[in-house]
Amino acid sequence: MSTFQPGTDQRYALLEGTNVHDVPIPMIGLGTWPMTGAQCHDAVASALAAGYRHLDTAENYANEDAVGRAVLGSGIPREEVFVTSKFNRQWHGGTESVRTALEAGLERAGLEYFDLFLVHWPNPDQNRYVQSCESLAALVETGLIRSWGVSNFSPAHLQAVLDAGLVPAVNQVYCEPEDAQRPAQEANTAAGVLTAAYTPIGRGSGLLQNPVITGVASRLGRTPAQVVLRWHVQQGRIAIPKSADPRRQRENLDVFSFELSAEDTAAIDALDVSASGGKSPGRADPEVFGH
């Protein structure tokens, strides 16, 4: 992948936020859950060889070690690979607690820094997610993370963070055409927070067999997954598809040489049930779920 050129390279976006200074992030990343051990290492290694430069891991995935080994063994300069990780609820709170989580994650990964570090779930029952964001913003200055953000934050959770004078660079949420989480996306955009989509092509939902998706794919000579991933990045979202298959990895990365028409985009948008209050069975409620 070429060197980032601000304003000209559609494969990257810029992360901004409190104590974050224009950090480039690749628009397509490799999701690694639920892979662990050798399977995860080999998947990351093949993805890096295919041109991926964005990897998504987490404490709760139990694979930071495998991701780190693949990065360090790839021969690719560390500064060219963007690594995201996330921390669990027991570390929510002040700077020392969050730093403990961060240093433990870096030790597991064998890395000197994470490019992006996220609060994995808000866990509102603890009511420490705003304090955790304050801690993350302070930790950027240590050099142990380049940017910080949140994951699975509803508009209300995000607003509480904004009310504290903080702007996360990213809110990583469940997002795919049949459940695009429009309210969350709109709140993110209004706040200047980038939306990153996990499960971007659905998970066992039959999305990739939907006639709308397959029809666009057939007409463009693309796979259904490529069409959906292009739908994400063309609307400015980071997309983090998981695949251990080298062929699918290459296909998932190859979404920058074509565009969807306005009509195609509108047809895919119309599959969404979230604007009317619906949700995918696979999307957990951050008011009651978290780790």
User: CA distances (Å), 259 to each of 31, 231, 250, 284, in order?
Assistant: 23, 9, 18, 31
Read out DSSP for 31-86?
E-TT--HHHHHHHHHHHHHHT--EEE--GGGT-HHHHHHHHHHS-S-GGGSEEEEE
| Cα–Cα distance, 220 to 163 (Å, whole number) | 45
Those residues with Cβ within 8 angstroms of residue 167's Cβ, 6 or more apart along the chain or in another chain: 16, 17, 18, 161, 191, 192, 193
| Cα–Cα distance, 95 to 138 (Å, whole number) | 7
End-to-end Cα, the chain, rounded Å: 35
Choose among 138, 135, 219, 133: nearest CA to 171.
Answer: 133
* Residues catalogued as catalytic: 61
Say if CB 18 and CB 10 are below 8 A apart: no
